[in-house]
Amino acid sequence: MAYTTAPNADIVALEIGESDFVDFDTKSTCLANGAVSASSTTLLFDTLPNPGAIKQYDLLQSGDELLLVDSVSYNTPAQVDGTLIVTRGAYGTTAAPIADDAELKVKTLEKVRLLDIATKDIENYHQQYVNPPGHWYAGSVQLQRACALQAIYLRKFLDAREIAEYVKNVSSGSYNDTVLSISGAAVRRLNDDARALVDFVLRLARVAVGEYGRA
């Protein structure tokens, strides 16, 4: 579990003017077909504009709640409505009632993945850990904000970072396939940039290295 949740990261993104972060992982939308309580794990849906767009392990976002899709059963042949079995309050969010015809955003796990990477980056930077399922000083509001900021900026940085990791893993620091050529120096620079990004967001969130002890 990350230091913060996707809905909380969306709030930070809007605060800093990165509004494109909010819906970048949205595949489609649908509507709830009938009201459900906060404890209900069966959800009927309709008005899916992209037939078959909802898959197992996708996320639905209803307000501030994330619902993980455990299974989906479509009404055929149109595949624009059907029944979902979901896990409520996924990834640290709080389950809440869903009204009839409430809009549900159909999302991928990409934003959750970014927040997990951001959390690992912050913990590696501080070099302080606790055993799963906890995180180092998980109750810190500043660290929650830093995690959101790291994920937001990682989205822009990740392509270059993944190239650097690929190069490091397959070529001992250099790579050339006649199309892409990266030297060992470039790999080191990209890895240094990754650490610099963590340093930047921690300062932005007013988190100092060594400021907190272990939780």
Question: 108: helix, coil or strand?
Answer: coil
Write out pLDDT tens, residues 172-194.
556 566 665 656 555 555 556 66
Sign for the CA dihedral angle at 44, 42, 106, 101 comes to: positive
CA 160 → CA 166, 184, 186, distances in Å?
Answer: 10, 14, 10
In the numeric block, which tokens belong to residue 181? 């050529």
Residues 31 and 35: their CA atoms lie apart, in Å, by 10
State yes or no: pLDDT of 156 exceeds 60.
yes
CB 7 within 8 A of CB 115: no
Write out pLDDT tens, residues 75-102.
989 999 999 999 999 998 999 999 999 9
Instruction: Output the pLDDT for position 213.
Output: 42
Question: Taking the domain 26-108, which CATH number applies?
Answer: 2.40.30
Q: Where are the domains of the chain?
A: 26-108, 112-204
Torsion on CA atoms 197, 199, 205, 207, rounded to nearest 10: 150
Write out pLDDT tens, residues 106-129.
999 999 999 998 998 888 877 765
Q: Against a cut of 0.85, is the pTM above it?
A: no
176 membership: H or E segment, kind and range:
strand 175-176
215 membership: H or E segment, kind and range:
none
What are the b/e assignments for 178-211, b being 16+ CB within 10 Å? eeeebeeebbeebeeebeebbeebbeebebeeee
